[in-house]
Amino acid sequence: MDDGEPDSSWLYQGIARSLFNWSGLCLASLDPAHRLAEANDEFFKHFGGSAQERRGQSFYDFLHPASREKMRRKFCKFSQIGYSHFTEQFMGIGPRNCSFTGILRGVAVRGDSGLMNAIVVMVRPDEVVTNGTGQSPNKSLTDLDARILEGVAAGASTIQLATKLHMSRQGIEYRVAAMLRRYKVPNRPALVSRAYAMGVLSTGSWPPRVLAGFVH
């Protein structure tokens, strides 16, 4: 490198600090071990704590358990040359252990050698997930609702669910409609997609299963 050529890490730090000051953006910088190096006020507003308290903490501690493994796989791909960014739905843990969903974009920052120096994380929070009962916000489904959601995800009809769960068709429809409102989706396919995106339904298993952390 010529003496007059700016170092890429210095350039990154300047860009990152400028971005952190932009109003409305929820931003953080992670070190190569995926630990929090820096974040702005908007980040701590949604995830809780402060820079002094949480600097050096694993970024996975900021995520709901249902999202951690998926994000770990995404971040680990940054060790591959040529893999530079991703955008993924996720579920985070905010103040008072309150969960929220959103979109997370990760961008690898590489030095002149091509090795990753840092990861910039940009978060667009969606909404807080609550169940209106005062219970833990992660536990948003009753056991019966969970069985119905699993059935819907497996493609079961209202009649099939009613027979399997020994309920009336009206009872099944009532509970499905309640879940549509809770997850703010218009129909059953969107409900299933939303449940997978939020990590309510486990990935890589069949028949579909609701994770225990979402059942009260």
Could you read off the pLDDT of 120-176 as tens digits, one per residue? Answer: 999 988 755 444 333 344 457 899 999 999 999 999 999 999 999 999 999 999 999
What is the rounded distance in angstroms from the CA atom of residue 18 to the CA atom of residue 10?
13
Other CB atoms closer than 10 Å to residue 202's CB: what's the count? 15
110 has pLDDT over 90: no
* DSSP H stretches of helix in 55-185: 65-76, 143-153, 158-165, 169-182
**Which tokens hold the place of 118?**
């840092």
Domain residue spans of the chain:
8-128, 143-214
Give per-residue pLDDT as tens, 58-83.
999 999 877 888 899 999 998 887 78
Over range 26-35, report the average pLDDT.
93
pTM check: above 0.75: no
Please give the CATH number for the structural domain made up of 8-128.
3.30.450.20
Residue 197: predicted pLDDT: 74
Residue with tokens 């999202």, as numbered in its chain: 67
More confident residue, 32 or 211: 32
Please give the CATH number for the structural domain made up of 143-214.
1.10.10.10
pLDDT bucket at 43, cuts 50 / 70 / 90: very high
